[in-house]
């Protein structure tokens, strides 16, 4: 049986896949339906821009008629055939190109922002997975210690050195530790499976160059100026402005030219169609877009203010949370020192089983408390990154 377990463990180790952080991100993007659609949308916008600037297909305009011949008093067939073209005017094509260049750039920025948000969420999930594994080791130690104490208690009870009540306390303590271990193990396996689904890789196991870390010193002012949120809103405003220009210049873009021949009259004919934009329709269309442009500029101002406020708030909370983690680690050391004292006292018979088990569990709880504070730190870091719109590593 042991040989089979060992063989299965070796197979798992060999099949498990470790990635570096860049490989992790690449798999993440490739397996995202939203990113796939966004990248396709960028290509679609570029193709649409080329289509908008292309000439419409030429066409033939045929006008047949029956004309009464006075000499023969019969009807003669005549037909005017014109070949028409609708060229795209250069004053329109230039602004259409500028408009679609802005649309393409904006969508590229949106795609990058979506990638960044996806990366932040996946990184948070992985860092939480590492903390869950750290907690698992604590629960494993707790289960092992509780089991050893219970086995010792059984021997002492058999030798009539402790009471039945004391034995039951050790037994209960071991049962609780075992249940906590099983629950934590299920949590670790569930999170790993979630990461594998996120990456589309069932063999994923670890990121070799990513571990729990504290926020490095960064230039938040520069990050705010180059925020993708603000860049996208600025491009929104530029897009509305260019779209209004396209409408304005397109009023004289419906020029048509044609030339042909009238059979029966032996005449060469020409035709020019000139639009007269005398209605206020296009003015209202332009006004609608310029109102949206004004709103986008105002949104940008509000966004910059909120980003700054949120960055200041989260940065302060992160610094405070780091201090809490350090205090929690100190509490761990104090709890361990007290546990050692209580263990000696219990062995000497001067400490009750209740006090001993309470001190032991307090020490293990202090370790769990530190990991919980790390989870809080990871959450705050992710909120800060989402506010900026990019990962900080």
Backbone angles phi, psi at 201, to 5 degrees: -140, 105
Percent of the chain with pLDDT over 70: 95
Three-state SS across 2-20? HHHHHHHHHHHHHHCEEEC
Mean pLDDT of the region 197-222: 93
Length of the chain: 393
pLDDT digits (tens, 9 = 90+) for 238-262: 999 999 988 888 777 677 888 888 8
18-24: long-range pairs with CB below 8 Å, 24+: 18/205, 18/206, 18/207, 18/208, 19/204, 19/206, 19/207, 19/208, 20/207, 20/208, 20/209, 21/207, 21/209, 21/210, 21/393, 24/122, 24/126, 24/199, 24/207, 24/210
178-182: long-range pairs with CB below 8 Å, 24+: 178/143, 178/146, 178/147, 180/139, 180/142, 180/143, 181/136, 181/139, 181/140, 181/142, 181/143
pTM: 0.86
Mean per-residue pLDDT of the chain:
89
Mean pLDDT of the region 169-180: 94
d(CA 57, CA 86): 8
If one counts every other C-beta atom within 10 angstroms of the C-beta of residue 142, the result is 25
98: tokens are: 């500028």
354: tokens are: 């209740």
Answer yes or no: is pLDDT of 8 > 80: no
pLDDT digits (tens, 9 = 90+) for 67-80: 777 777 777 778 88
Mean pLDDT of the region 84-112: 91
Q: Who has greater pLDDT, 266 or 116?
A: 116
d(CA 259, CA 250): 24
The predicted structure's pLDDT at residue 7: 52
Q: Who has greater pLDDT, 232 or 86?
A: 232
- Of the pLDDT bands very low, low, confident and very high (cuts 50, 70, 90), residue 113 is very high
Strands 17-19 and 204-207: parallel
pLDDT digits (tens, 9 = 90+) for 313-365: 999 999 999 999 999 999 999 999 999 998 888 888 788 878 888 898 899 99
Name the CATH code of domain 16-56+89-253+281-388 (choices 1.10.260.40, 3.40.50.720, 3.30.750.210, 1.20.1600.10): 1.20.1600.10
The predicted structure's pLDDT at residue 119: 97
The predicted structure's pLDDT at residue 1: 44
Q: Who has greater pLDDT, 268 or 212?
A: 212
pLDDT digits (tens, 9 = 90+) for 198-208: 999 999 999 99
The predicted structure's pLDDT at residue 62: 86
Answer yes or no: is pLDDT of 45 > 50: yes
Domain spans, the chain: 16-56+89-253+281-388
């Amino acid at each position: 049986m042991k040989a089979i377990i060992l063989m299965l463990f070796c197979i798992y180790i060999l099949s498990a896949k470790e990635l570096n952080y860049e490989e992790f991100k690449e798999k993440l993007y490739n397996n995202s339906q939203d990113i796939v659609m966004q990248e396709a949308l960028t290509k679609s916008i570029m193709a649409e821009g080329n289509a908008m600037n292309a000439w419409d297909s030429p066409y033939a305009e045929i006008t047949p008629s029956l004309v009464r011949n006075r000499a023969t008093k019969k009807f003669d067939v005549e037909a005017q055939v014109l070949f028409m073209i609708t060229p795209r005017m250069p004053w329109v094509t230039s602004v259409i190109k500028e408009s679609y260049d802005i649309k393409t750039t904006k969508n590229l920025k949106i795609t990058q922002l979506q990638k960044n948000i996806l990366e932040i969420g996946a990184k948070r999930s992985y860092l939480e997975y590492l903390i869950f594994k750290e907690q698992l080791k604590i629960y494993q130690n707790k289960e092992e210690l509780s089991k050893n104490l219970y086995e010792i208690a059984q021997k002492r009870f058999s030798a009539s050195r402790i009471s039945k009540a004391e034995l039951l306390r050790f037994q209960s303590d071991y049962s609780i530790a075992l249940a906590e271990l099983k629950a934590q193990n299920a949590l670790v396996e569930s999170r790993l499976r979630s990461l594998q689904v996120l990456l589309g890789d069932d063999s994923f196991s670890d990121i070799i160059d990513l571990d729990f870390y504290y926020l490095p010193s960064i230039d938040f002012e520069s990050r705010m100026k180059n925020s993708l949120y603000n860049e996208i809103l600025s491009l929104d405003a530029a897009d509305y402005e260019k779209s209004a220009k396209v409408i304005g210049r397109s009023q004289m873009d419906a020029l048509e030219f044609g030339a042909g021949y009238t059979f029966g009259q032996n005449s060469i004919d020409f035709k020019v169609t000139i639009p007269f934009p005398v209605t206020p329709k296009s003015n209202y269309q332009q006004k609608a877009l310029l109102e949206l442009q004004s709103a986008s500029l105002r949104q940008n101002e509000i966004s910059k203010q909120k980003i700054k406020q949120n960055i200041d708030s989260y940065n302060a909370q992160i610094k405070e949370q780091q201090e809490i983690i350090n205090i929690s680690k100190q509490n761990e050391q104090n709890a361990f020192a007290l546990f050692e004292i209580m263990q000696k006292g219990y062995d000497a018979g001067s400490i009750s089983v209740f006090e001993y088990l309470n001190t032991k569990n307090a020490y293990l709880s202090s370790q769990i408390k530190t990991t919980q504070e790390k989870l809080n730190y990871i959450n705050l870091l992710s909120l800060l990154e989402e506010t900026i719109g990019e990962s900080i590593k």
